Amino acid sequence: MKFRCERDVLVEALGTATRAVASRGGALPVLSGVKADLTGDRLVLTGSDLDLTIQVAITVAGQQDGVAVLPARLAADIVRALGPGAVHIDAEGDEAQISSGRSEFAVRLLPAEDFPRLPETPGDEVTLDAAAFEEALKQVVRAASHDDARPILTGVLMAAEGDGLRLVATDSYRLAVRDLPGTTVLREGQTVLVPSKALGELTRVLSGAETVRLRLAERDATFEVGETKLTTRLIEGEFPNYRQLIPNTHPNRLTVGREPLLEALRRVKLLAREATPVRISLKADGIELTAITQDVGQAHEDLDAKYEGTEMVIAFNPEYLADGVEAVKGDEVTLETVDALKPAVVKSVESQDYLYLLMPVRVS
């Protein structure tokens, strides 16, 4: 295999494909590599850990067709370190020459025949608006769990809802629900559970794109954005009944500026060390945010706000609360709650298609 490519094009393609590469290769050492497949002037780079696969196709100046598996992170680091201009890669036998200008590297290849054959995802293709889907993913993926001991909670539920699509994620401390009206992807009553890690990587690929094409199979989902294809294995299992967590009525309602609340949270949580919650005093004439950490200090900040309901003090994990407020669109947010121990709901004043539910922290 032999080709020439501009450094910046190759850096971006290698960086994207490498994000799916297994960190250590595990039982298959070849999975620590990125597969390069050259046909004519089309180079396809593939990274995979078997659960997540990312393929990127780019146009290069091809000189000799072939297939090689480069050590992914080393190859990406080498190409990134080269000077601007053309990069030449010549892979033959068990070694690849990577050169540019007066720099030259020789890198041992991984056995291409060991790289697993990756399945194609059958099924009907659906086209989605990339910007709307990216925004929805950024709002919801943040609430998914990172604890592999509970794999169901590391996924994002995609469900047919009314005339559109609903995305749901929870880590059992918070819940995010986003509706995409008019987006028909699934059959009525159908649900799939997509790993949040894969959707997090997808948001990077979606940036600046106009459309994303989605195909669903029984065990896999494939997203195609331009010349980049991301395939992920679906999570099997029953997602929790999230609907029962959302209160039907909220007698207490706070309306506050989104940016002022975020800025106040960022300042106050500087004193919220070691999982210290931020207390919010809800009063008719405004709110007060307080964080107290023993032997460190305390912070207080008053904010103008509109509050209707029973005066109370409610406490939250400041990171989780800031996450929810940040995800809401518009100038103002509402925080609705039943009492200081029941889940609170954060929503936008302007739009009802996103809901972020957060469990309060019990304080003395």
pLDDT band at residue 31 under the 50/70/90 scheme: very high
Averaged over 203-223, what is the pLDDT?
Answer: 92
Place of tokens 């000799």: 64
Q: What is the pLDDT of residue 252?
A: 96
Domain 125-244 and domain 247-358, same fold? Reply is yes
Three-class DSSP labels, the chain: CEEEEEHHHHHHHHHHHHCCCCCCCCCCHHHHEEEEEEECCEEEEEEECCCEEEEEEEECEEEECEEEEEEHHHHHHHHHHCCCCEEEEEEECCEEEEEECCEEEEEECECHHHCCCCCCCCCCEEEEEHHHHHHHHHHHHCCCCCCCCCHHHHEEEEEEECCEEEEEEECCCEEEEEEECCCCCCCCCCEEEEEHHHHHHHHHHHCCCCEEEEEECCCEEEEEECCEEEEEECCCCCCCCHHHHCCCCCCEEEEEEHHHHHHHHHHHHHHCCCCCCEEEEEECCEEEEEEEECCCEEEEEEECCEEECCCEEEEECHHHHHHHHHHCCCCEEEEEECCCCCCEEEEECCCCCEEEEECCCCCC
Averaged over 47-53, what is the pLDDT?
Answer: 94
Which sequence spans correspond to the domains of the chain?
2-114, 125-244, 247-358
Q: What is the pLDDT of residue 24?
A: 67
Round to whole Å and give the CA distance between 4 and 11. Answer: 13
Percent of the chain with pLDDT over 70: 99
Q: What is the pLDDT of residue 210?
A: 94
Q: Work out the mean pLDDT of the chain and round it to a whole number.
A: 93
| Cβ density class 215-237: b for 16+ within 10 Å, e for less | bbeeebbbbbbbebbbbbbbbee
Averaged over 86-108, what is the pLDDT?
Answer: 97
Q: What is the pLDDT of residue 261?
A: 97
In this structure, the dihedral spanned by the alpha carbons of residues 330, 332, 337 and 339, taken in order and rounded to 10 degrees, is: 150
Residues 6+ apart with CB under 8 A from 85: 6, 7, 100, 101
Q: What is the pLDDT of residue 46?
A: 97
Query: Which of these, 94, 237, 218, lies nearest to 152 by C-alpha position?
Result: 237
Q: What is the pLDDT of residue 254?
A: 96
pLDDT tens digits, residue range 293-339? Answer: 888 999 999 999 999 999 999 999 999 999 999 999 999 999 999 99
Strands 174-180 and 125-129: unpaired
Q: What is the pLDDT of residue 270?
A: 92
pLDDT band at residue 120 under the 50/70/90 scheme: confident
Round to whole Å and give the CA distance between 279 and 291. Answer: 6
Question: What burial class does residue 29 get, using C-beta atoms within 10 Å of its C-beta: 0-12 exposed, 13-18 middle, 19+ buried?
Answer: middle
Q: What is the pLDDT of residue 142?
A: 96
Which homologous superfamily does the CATH classification assign to the domain defined by 2-114? DNA Polymerase III, subunit A, domain 2 (3.10.150.10)
Which homologous superfamily does the CATH classification assign to the domain defined by 125-244? DNA Polymerase III, subunit A, domain 2 (3.10.150.10)
pLDDT band at residue 122 under the 50/70/90 scheme: confident
Q: What is the pLDDT of residue 249?
A: 85
Question: What burial class does residue 125 get, using C-beta atoms within 10 Å of its C-beta: 0-12 exposed, 13-18 middle, 19+ buried?
Answer: exposed
Structure tokens at 243: 């609907």
Round to whole Å and give the CA distance between 1 and 90. Answer: 6
The sheet carrying 297-303 orders its strands as 297-303, 286-293, 278-283, 312-316
CATH fold of 247-358: DNA Polymerase III; Chain A, domain 2 (3.10.150)
pLDDT surpassing 90 at residue 208 = no
- Judge contact between 308 and 256, C-beta under 8 A: no
CA distances from 69 to 32, 53, 100, 110 (A): 9, 15, 20, 5
- Judge contact between 346 and 358, C-beta under 8 A: yes
pLDDT tens digits, residue range 178-193? Answer: 999 887 777 777 889 9
Q: What is the pLDDT of residue 25?
A: 57
Q: What is the pLDDT of residue 295?
A: 87
Q: What is the pLDDT of residue 250?
A: 85
pLDDT band at residue 26 under the 50/70/90 scheme: low
Round to whole Å and give the CA distance between 140 and 129. Answer: 17
pLDDT tens digits, residue range 124-165? Answer: 788 999 999 999 999 999 999 999 889 999 999 998 887 789
